[in-house]
Structure 1
Amino acid sequence: MQAREVKTAEDAIRLIEARGLTHVKVGLSDIDGIMRGKYLAKDKFISALKSGFGFCNVVLGWDLNDQLYDNVQYTGWHTAYPDAMVRILPETCRELPLEQVNGQNMLFFLCEFVEEAATVCPRNLLQRVLKRAEDMGYDAYSALEYEFFMFKETPESVRAKNYQNLTPWTPGYFGYSVLRSTVESDFYHQLLKLSEDMDMSIEGLHTETGPGVLEAAIGVDEAGAAADKAFLFKTFCKVLAQRNDLMATFMAKWSHNYPGQSGHIHLSLRDRNSGKSAFYDPSQQYGMSKTQRHFMAGVQRYLPEFMSMFAATVNSYSRLVPGYWAPLDSTWSLDNRTTALRLIPGSDKSQRMEVRIGSADANPYIALSAALGAGLYGIEQQLEPEPMVVGNAYTQQFPDHLKLPNTLWEAAQRFKGSEAARVLFGDAFVDHFAATREWEEREFRRHVTDWELQRYFEII
């Protein structure tokens, strides 16, 4: 039996026994999309497969630097950080070829929080949105794309340099470069093979515009599986880079001198009864069905309110400036990369939409929940989209209600006050997530930036 053939707890136990493994690795998503996990001894793992296990709920109560949130209700010093119950997901079993034990690959399983913790768990959030789609008669499919910069650095060297004067993996602007990908083909092939081995296959990999920047398009899958693949890719791409004395960053914008890094989301729905695309209607203009039109309208309508789910860090908003391939308003158009939403016409198989607003630093579970939830709500409300943009959206003016938040603080306030968010995601998640984004903004305000020193130190 191979790892991706595992479907049940019994399958997982048989595979572990057959390989003679003494330990198994498990991982789950925190609020920021950072993978947190541990090794479990075989007996502990088998027990946990049947009845779950406790995982300190602090991972839902601290930021990406392990600093404790001071403004969330779910957990904190007031609860003394107890264990929360976690469910191991047998069907997510993966080979981990980067770890060999006695000639066998380590096995890796994803987990998710259950019971009360499920209300603020990112993966469980997406499962609830997917259940909404199912109840409406749809299966959701998605594919995520990520841009990321690579550096000839190590975790030690970037700290020694104070994150200044870093050496890119390759020099210059050279998008879609066959020269670069051939010269550096060893790493490309390692990444492609790792992605195949871990069932997060890349259907397209190329250089983007900027020194050392790549773009990887992960293959389409059922939306829950697509989010799992994106989550795994971001972690293990960085692992592989560091194994090669390189570093990959998924920051939204690591330097004002270079373009930002996106995390685009492709989405489509299929009718559960007929099996046909719910987005494709060849009798309509651009093949855009009534369902897709309502879905598009929902995402457009609620994007300003859900912005913090797509752009979740202070740095995310450094990317959202004119002229850098990032939309500034909640707009849509036909195959147009200057708008937030892109209608991609095709066939029953390929008709879809792309949400282009997200940055590479977003938690894939949360960003996909936002896009899918907003679209489903648009179908339920039978919303109609605003007029389609023609031409360069960057040079056009749009109504105020289409304006996107300019800062993380503003985005958090819009999210916290969103009735639609509370309907789709629940009060517990909305209050928790908004509070964590407020924390992130307040942490930023406590620090003095290099820009401030250079601008004010002598002159003012």
Structure 2
Amino acid sequence: MSRLQAREIESVEDARRIVEQRGLSHVKVGMYDIDGVMLGKYMRREKFFASLEKGFQFCDVVLGWDSKDELYDNVHYTGWHTGYPDAPLRIVPESCREVPAEGDMLLFLAEFEGAAEAICPRGVLRRILQRAAGMGFRAHGALEYEFFLFDETPDSIREKGFRNLKPFTPDMMGYSMLRSSVHAELYHELLALAEAMDFPIEGLHTETGPGVLEVAIAVDEALAAADKGALFKTFTKVWAQRRGLMATFMAKWSPDYPGQSGHIHLSLTHAESGESAFFDAAAGHCMSDLQRHFVAGQQQLMPELLAMLAPTVNSYTRLIPGFWAPTDATWGVENRTTALRVIPGSATSQRVEYRLGSADANPYLAMAAAIGSGLYGIEHRLEPDEPITGNAYDQSHPSHQSLPRTLWEAAQRLRGSRAARELFGDDFVEHFAATREWEERQFRRHITDWELDRYFEII
């Protein structure tokens, strides 16, 4: 019997067989929490085989705490009032990945079931894609990420109090062939890791800023694309730390440099024919009626769903004019100053780029918001505003295009959105809005250096 490869796994039986073939005593099983942080454990082979058939249990506190393991005090799904019981999960056989740094080790993703499925990030996206299927569409996506590399370790950044950090390379050298050639071995390692773990990189280059890189991940069906994005973020951090470096995907780590985006390229095809639902050779910019409605839905719901694409307090420091991040719910054709960029092309390349998202967003929730709002536009036959030509930052826009300016405001817009509740369910909206309110409250408990410098002596 031939030796199975991770990418060939499609069923429970395949998953059993590849573990047996490799003689593994344990495998890795991981899932993603509400912030997009990967959690998991090594699971003994016999337990893994049983879990493939019947699922397994995991303490639901992972859906009830923040990115610093602090317990939410304002959510209903779980908490001290429930006693933090176990929640059921199922293993996703087709998510099997190699873990190159660990020999023959394999990694499988899992997702929550039962009551927890309503707020499981992967489950939220999966339900949106089921909605698309019910409308006769298949969604495809690709994620682009910017991230900064530092010549630091988890210990050194804390010893420095996160100040005076040393970027991996100095100066502003976007698209630098010099940098990528001098550090070619490091680039090759990242490219090889991405191939081995099935989140292949289509493009890798330096961006504007010291030590900043941009990666474009290959297109795939939307759920697989979100898996690729989530795994890329996790294992890029692993790769960097194993080499004495650190990678950050926070939206903006310094006021002196542009923020870090998480752009999403999206297209729809007709499920039966496989043909593009966005391409119309006879239409202006080859933009079909369906694509126009899709963009209209994205534009109209952007202010209501912003918390899903800009989920941290830090996200909103990026959304300022002149730093390559959109500040209003605008769209244009091949316009990188707008929030939505329609990219005309062929039947295989016609798409829309959702440029609003930041690198700190949970890939599953960002993708769900970007696709779900587009489907909403098709369902309601919405029409977009006039496209923006020229610099969107220099133009005034209608009030309905204004985006929330803080995480708290974004959480309130999400909580009050009928469309969000229709798309994602009441349980998710209530839970996620509450977690964002918690995040903002945590921030308000702290005194910033700016406040001390501004008020300590003079006021």
What TM bracket, shorter-length normalisation? Answer: over 0.9
Matching residue's letter, 1:411: A
Which residue number in structure 2 is paired with residue 317 of structure 1? 316
Which residue number in structure 2 is paired with residue 277 of structure 1? 276
Deviations 1:110-129 (A, max 9, x none): 00001100000000000000
Query: 1:398 deviation in Å?
Result: 0.3
Matching residue's letter, 2:419: A
Map residues 325-340 of structure 1 onto 2, 5 A cutoff: 325-340=324-339
Which residue number in structure 2 is paired with residue 225 of structure 1? 224
The question of 1:137 aligning with 2:116 is answered: no
Deviations 1:74-106 (A, max 9, x none): 000000000000000000000000112xxxx21
SS at match of 2:233: helix
Aligned length: 456
SS at match of 1:90: strand
CA distance in 1, matches of 2:215, 2:406: 27
SS at match of 2:99: strand
Query: 1:274 deviation in Å?
Result: 1.6
Map residues 357-372 of structure 1 onto 2, 5 A cutoff: 357-372=356-371
Map residues 362-401 of structure 1 onto 2, 5 A cutoff: 362-401=361-400
CA distance in 1, matches of 2:297, 2:221: 21
Map residues 396-415 of structure 1 onto 2, 5 A cutoff: 396-415=395-414
Query: 1:187 deviation in Å?
Result: 1.1
SS at match of 2:101: strand
Map residues 88-127 of structure 1 onto 2, 5 A cutoff: 88-100=91-103, 105-127=104-126
Which residue number in structure 1 is paired with residue 67 of structure 2? 64
Query: 1:273 deviation in Å?
Result: 1.6
SS at match of 1:441: helix
Query: 1:302 deviation in Å?
Result: 0.1
CA distance in 2, matches of 1:445, 1:191: 38
Matching residue's letter, 1:22: S
Deviations 1:10-59 (A, max 9, x none): 11111111111000001111000000000000000000000000011111
Query: 1:258 deviation in Å?
Result: 0.8
Output the TM-score relative to the length of structure 2. 0.99
CA distance in 2, matches of 1:255, 1:54: 40
Work out which of the residue numbers 44, 49, 67 in structure 2 matches 1:46: 49
CA distance in 1, matches of 2:399, 2:202: 38
Which residue number in structure 1 is paired with residue 291 of structure 2? 292
CA distance in 2, matches of 1:428, 1:372: 19
Matching residue's letter, 1:42: R
Which residue number in structure 2 is paired with residue 16 of structure 1? 19
Query: 1:332 deviation in Å?
Result: 0.2
CA distance in 2, matches of 1:354, 1:208: 18
Output the TM-score relative to the length of structure 1. 0.99
Deviations 1:127-151 (A, max 9, x none): 0000000000000000000000000
CA distance in 2, matches of 1:400, 1:447: 32
CA distance in 2, matches of 1:206, 1:458: 45
SS at match of 2:162: coil
Structure 1, unaligned runs of 5 or more: none
Query: 1:347 deviation in Å?
Result: 0.5
Deviations 1:183-229 (A, max 9, x none): 11111100000000000000000000000000000000000000000
Which residue number in structure 2 is paired with residue 152 of structure 1? 151
CA distance in 1, matches of 2:273, 2:21: 41
CA distance in 2, matches of 1:404, 1:225: 29
SS at match of 1:406: coil
Deviations 1:252-308 (A, max 9, x none): 000101110000000000001221000000000000000000000000000000000
Which residue number in structure 2 is paired with residue 188 of structure 1? 187
CA distance in 1, matches of 2:266, 2:362: 16
Which residue number in structure 1 is paired with residue 200 of structure 2? 201
SS at match of 2:446: coil
CA distance in 2, matches of 1:65, 1:187: 30
SS at match of 2:166: coil
Between the aligned residues of both structures, percent identity stands at: 65
Which residue number in structure 2 is paired with residue 416 of structure 1? 415
Which residue number in structure 2 is paired with residue 74 of structure 1? 77
CA distance in 1, matches of 2:273, 2:94: 26
Matching residue's letter, 1:298: G
CA distance in 1, matches of 2:135, 2:269: 11
The question of 1:347 aligning with 2:346 is answered: yes
CA distance in 1, matches of 2:61, 2:28: 19
CA distance in 2, matches of 1:314, 1:187: 32
CA distance in 2, matches of 1:216, 1:419: 35
Query: 1:322 deviation in Å?
Result: 1.1
CA distance in 2, matches of 1:291, 1:333: 16
CA distance in 1, matches of 2:91, 2:54: 9
Matching residue's letter, 1:54: Q
CA distance in 2, matches of 1:244, 1:80: 40
Matching residue's letter, 1:275: G
CA distance in 2, matches of 1:258, 1:324: 8
SS at match of 2:247: strand
Query: 1:357 deviation in Å?
Result: 0.4
CA distance in 2, matches of 1:273, 1:370: 25
RMSD: 0.5
The question of 1:264 aligning with 2:259 is answered: no
Query: 1:458 deviation in Å?
Result: 1.5
